[in-house]
A and B are shown apart, each in its own frame.
Chain A
Amino acid sequence: MNIKMLGAFAAVALLAACASPPETAATTGAGTVATAGPAPGSQEDLVKNVGDRVFFGFDRSVLEAEAHATLDRQAGWLRQFQQNNVQVAGNCDERGTEEYNIALGQRRANAARDYLVAAGVPGSRITTISYGKDRPSSLGSDEQSWAQNRNAITSVQ
């Protein structure tokens, strides 16, 4: 019961944040408008306000529910910022062999791209690449780092 309540509060708080764009939220006493958040449509905007990456299980390329939610937000964001083309890069953890991981990373990138296309983003706006395990986001050798590194990362080109 308490947990459910917390969930509800969190959702309300998020909606509130979305309802007030950064530009209007941070008006200084002197009357000038300062930008308190990343420029809308920027890579930073994608990272902070949308979520630039989705995660996968070990040796898997299936998109879980959380990934669906992230990619839905990315699709909405890409509809909003039509000028943005993106690259989706697939990555793997260090507990696999090099060549297979390049193909696996590509499979992850393809899965994310296919989802975005199904959500209405023209395929012509998306390129894909795989870095295998050569561009880890997290540098540790532990389960937490490996989970972070099994991903597909969207970036503005």
Chain B
Amino acid sequence: MTDDLTPSRRRLIAGTAATLFMPAIARAQQPPPGGAGGGSAVIDVNRARTEPIPLAVPALTGSGGDAARIGQEMANVITNNLAHSGLFRPIDPAAFINTPTGDTPNFQNWKVIGAQALVTGRVESQGGDKVRVEFRLWDVLPGQQIQGTAYTTTVSNWRRIAHIISDVIYERLLGEKGYFDTRIVYIAGSGPRDRRVKRLAIMDQDGANNRFLTDGSFMALTPRFHPTRDEIAFMSYLNNKPRVYLFNLGSGRQELLGNFDGITLSPRFAPDGSSIIMAQTTSAGGSVILSVGLGGGGARRLTDSGSIDVSPCYSPDGTQIVFNSDRGGDQQLYVMSASGGGVRRISFGQGRYATPVWSPRGDLIAFTRFGGGSFAIGVMRPDGSGERILSESYYCEGPTFAPNGRVIMFWRETAARDSRGNGFSARLHSIDITGFNERAVGTPTDASDPAWSPLGA
């Protein structure tokens, strides 16, 4: 239970992976060149909507203790991850002809059922709570091993290892990093809307290991992950004073960020983790963008327009900031340099724009657009060109990018159908940046304000 609470979570797996000896039949492959050819399992994900790769993930075989059950569950987690990405099509295990026993599979049996890639593995109890997980990824048509890795860890980490293996499969077959060994912080909502309880919550990206981090005695909003530490910045209504706080995932303690007049809100960490940008309301009636050093550094005003300036977010290289402002009359998106100069508007479509967030790849800015009775999640290039709407509904808001920049999560609310608020719900959804593969993300309660962690956090 407390394993993933320890500050060392990000180091938990480091140093335990070893590359497996390649069986004689297999020969080492270089990382995929990014092109598909001759039925190889390796494809270029950046092509227009590719057909998902058919692959087989039989249960990892197990010996000793709980190993067989864990092997089955790991296969389930891997299958689920890859299927949800929309880029793989796991084959129903009912179609499998045999389960692999030796080091080298009988490729013919996997070709027959249409598998292009095959995942095999073994879980061995090593006494105590130690376990060794061995995994191999095979390109079925040429009959070659693409990857072989062994991990030694504690039993309770099996799910984490399954996510790491999923990321390896994703990266080796698609040529870009995965996003499965990640977590989501979000706000769990419950109770009637006029007395809504909003708690800080965290879960694995696939919905497992959900935990509530605050008890609901104060309202929590808009959490964001630190880029390298197990720390979250969020907005808390503790003591009826809405301010930005830092929440330490190791200790469970929260700490006020600075001492500012007015409300502080909409925090985001700088890419190097040394500071936070956020908004501060002013007595004049607007809000300004502040940069606040974390280690005792002072605060610096980056905007002072007299309008509402909120929701700042750095470019991944830290040189620019995109933010939301009504300085032109209504909410639009603006980009400025990290020091606050050279402000220019980038949103020019119909309606209002809000909640800009820069892709970790740097190539896109995701946003909320609304007007005319509906809300939409979209993306545009940082210069404002190439706008595309990905999803539209009665209400949706707050995109957050997976660390590989490939998937966006956001939340959607439904309209109340009566004056008592019945019918209202708030739920998380994910969608590929191509606009395909939209999915509901399961949470035990209503959910909003998702923020994706970095890979391995």
Q: Which residues from chain A sit less than 8 Å from chain B, CB to CB?
A: 59, 61, 94-100, 102-104, 106-107, 110-111, 129-130, 134-141, 145
Contact = CB atoms under 8 A, between A and B. Distances in A.
21 contacts: A59-B330, A96-B354, A97-B311, A99-B266, A100-B326, A102-B242, A103-B281, A103-B308, A106-B287, A111-B285, A129-B242, A130-B242, A130-B263, A136-B194, A138-B419, A139-B416, A139-B420, A139-B424, A140-B418, A141-B394, A141-B423
Contacts of A137: 194
Interface string B378-402: 0000000000000000110110000
Contact of A98 (B240, B286, B449): B449
B193 interface: yes
Interface in B194-250: 194, 196, 198, 219, 221-222, 235, 240-242
Interface residues of B, number: 50
Contact of B311 (A94, A99, A104, A129): A99
Given A107-B286, A134-B196, 4 more contacts: A59-B326, A99-B266, A99-B324, A129-B242
Contacts of B398: 97-98
B407 interface: no
B153 interface: no
B413 interface: yes
B23 interface: no
Contacts of A96: 354, 370
> Which 7 residue pairs across A and B have the least CB separation, nearest first?
A139-B421, A141-B415, A97-B354, A141-B416, A99-B266, A106-B281, A103-B308
Contacts of B240: 129
* Most interface-central of A98, A107, A130, A139 (chain B CB within 10 A): A98
Contacts of B286: 103, 107
Nearest to A113: B283
A104 B416 CA distance: 23
B421 A140 contact: yes
Contact of A102 (B265, B397, B421, B448): B265
Contacts of B354: 96-97, 99-100
A99 B263 CA distance: 11
B413 A107 contact: no
B374 to A, nearest CB: 10
B56 interface: no
A73 B263 CA distance: 28
Nearest to B279: A103
A23 to B, nearest CB: 33
B117 to A, nearest CB: 41
B127 to A, nearest CB: 51
A138 B419 CA distance: 7
